[in-house]
Structure 1
Amino acid sequence: MATLTALMLATPLFGLSLQIDAAMLEAPSAAIEPSVLLAVEVSTDLGEPSQPTTADLVRKRNKIKRIHKIFGLATWALTTVTVASGMVQYYNQYGWFQSQSTNPCVQGTAWPNQDQCSGAPTGHLALSATTAAVFFTTWGLSFAMPDPLGVSEGDSQFARRLRAHKILRWVTFAGFVAQIALGVVAANSEWFGLDRANNYKTLRAIATAHLTVGWVTWGALTAQGALMIF
């Protein structure tokens, strides 16, 4: 590079003309082997998720069905105990349509003791809450079961039973909701401006409705189970 610079400076002094090939000033290009290039292919096609087969849905149905049956039996057993507990509570506070002055709580003959006559019915409330939780779980599981084979369709005996079973689940659902609403009023009458001293007949009517709905719900639940077991 120093020699080239000297020639460029000295050439005009001697009347000479220096011609430089431009190619000489260009740096040689580096040759890159294709083998060293990395090609990364990114695919954005995620594809459609595979749909469950009929066999998959049948297996899912059978699995949920077993759990549903266990919860259904538990719901029936708990409902039976809860209704029985409600009958005891009703008898102690109101007798069998007895007056305000002759019911067992006033007469001192409440069963199993007089503790049932004042305050919130803790035992009955605990049973009711547990029963409701198990029932609503059972009810939800009934909707989670797929029916890929349409077993509830047609005119077979099983299909008719299953359709009746599905109709009754709405009866039991309505019954549980009504019981909860009536139970809240009966157990917390002071929230609604009601007391046994001044509103005895009103509270007795609410308690009677609560117990009646309980029996109807228990009957519908029993029919549901009988349709699937027998």
Structure 2
Amino acid sequence: MYAGALLYGASLFGFVLTPPGGAPPPQLSPTPQLVLDLEGLEEPESSDEADLAEAIAERRQMADIHRAFGIATWASMAVTAVLGFLQLYDEYGLWEDAANTPCARNDAILGFCGDEVPWPHAIAAGTTAALYTTTFILSFTMPDPLDQASANTPESERLRIHKTLRWFHLAGVVVLAALGGITANIDADYEVRRGLAWAHFGTAVATFGTLTAAGALMVF
């Protein structure tokens, strides 16, 4: 035992001790190497999985932005419709004759009569158009990596109805803009302008109702 320890110590300091009988010194076994266990480590995600996760995150972010613009569009359209009705009432009353309208009696609510530009309604309409256009573009550029629109779930069914209704309120917005421009600039008698104005307001109510239904499907 002591001889082995002596041989080991001598080898550390560069000495070579030869035991009696000329036997070679004992050989020391090498230090075992450390072996890492990699079985518990997860392999990195594949590129397809990473792309899918990125697309899902992008959709969630765009959905939040789309929802915010949708609510802003809805509120702006509501204000525009109210201002439009007040302007309609000032100029034409509740289907009154030309001599019995609030403008003719000098008691108009908004005070924009005749050839005056109804600025409150015009500004609100322009704001609504800008918000609506942004919201509509976002609905088309939003990715659908999980193909939710084709799934057989209640959420997917609401999404399909929501996408279908957008074509109806888009048509309403286009007709609204056309009727608004015609009503404001047409050179016609009072009855024709009154009919166009009420058609314009009726289209606004229908469009607002369609937009409300489309938004309610995704918010509630």
Q: Report the TM-score, using the length of structure 1 for normalisation.
A: 0.72
Matches of 1:122 and 1:72, distance apart in 2: 24
Aligned to 2:88: 90
Matches within 5 A, 1:99-110: 99-110=97-108
**Alpha-carbon distance, 1:112 to partner:** 3.8
Is the 8 Å Cα contact of residues 121 and 187 (structure 1) preserved in structure 2? no
Q: Which moved more, 1:96-105 or 1:130-139?
A: 96-105
Aligned to 1:35: none
Matched letter for residue 134 of structure 1: L
Aligned residue-pair number? 173
CA displacement 1:35-65 (0-9 Å, x = unmatched): xxxxxxxxxxxxxxx8882112111111111
Is the 8 Å Cα contact of residues 59 and 142 (structure 2) preserved in structure 1? yes
Aligned to 2:135: 138
Aligned to 1:81: 79
Change (3 A) 1:175 1:131: same
Off by >3 Å, runs of 4+ in structure 1: 115-118
Amino-acid identity (%): 39
Q: Between Structure 1 and Structure 2, whose CA radius of gyration is higher?
A: 1
Matches of 1:229 and 1:63, distance apart in 2: 15
**Alpha-carbon distance, 1:154 to partner:** 2.6
Residue 211 of structure 2 is aligned to residue 228 of structure 1: no
Residue 169 of structure 2 is aligned to residue 172 of structure 1: yes
Matches of 1:120 and 1:112, distance apart in 2: 11
- Give structure 2 stretches of 5+ with no counterpart: 1-46
Is the 8 Å Cα contact of residues 87 and 110 (structure 2) preserved in structure 1? no
Is the 8 Å Cα contact of residues 75 and 131 (structure 1) preserved in structure 2? yes
Is the 8 Å Cα contact of residues 162 and 217 (structure 2) preserved in structure 1? yes
Matched letter for residue 170 of structure 2: F
Matched letter for residue 54 of structure 2: D
Aligned to 1:126: 123
Matched letter for residue 159 of structure 2: L
**Alpha-carbon distance, 1:119 to partner:** 1.1
**Alpha-carbon distance, 1:155 to partner:** 2.7
Matched letter for residue 77 of structure 2: T
Is the 8 Å Cα contact of residues 92 and 117 (structure 1) preserved in structure 2? no
Indicate the SS of the match to 2:94. Answer: coil
Residue 101 of structure 2 is aligned to residue 111 of structure 1: no
Provide the aligned C-alpha RMSD in A.
1.5
Q: 2:180 aligns with which of 163, 176, 183?
A: 183
Q: Report the TM-score, using the length of structure 2 for normalisation.
A: 0.75
- Give structure 1 stretches of 5+ with no counterpart: 1-49
Aligned to 1:210: 200
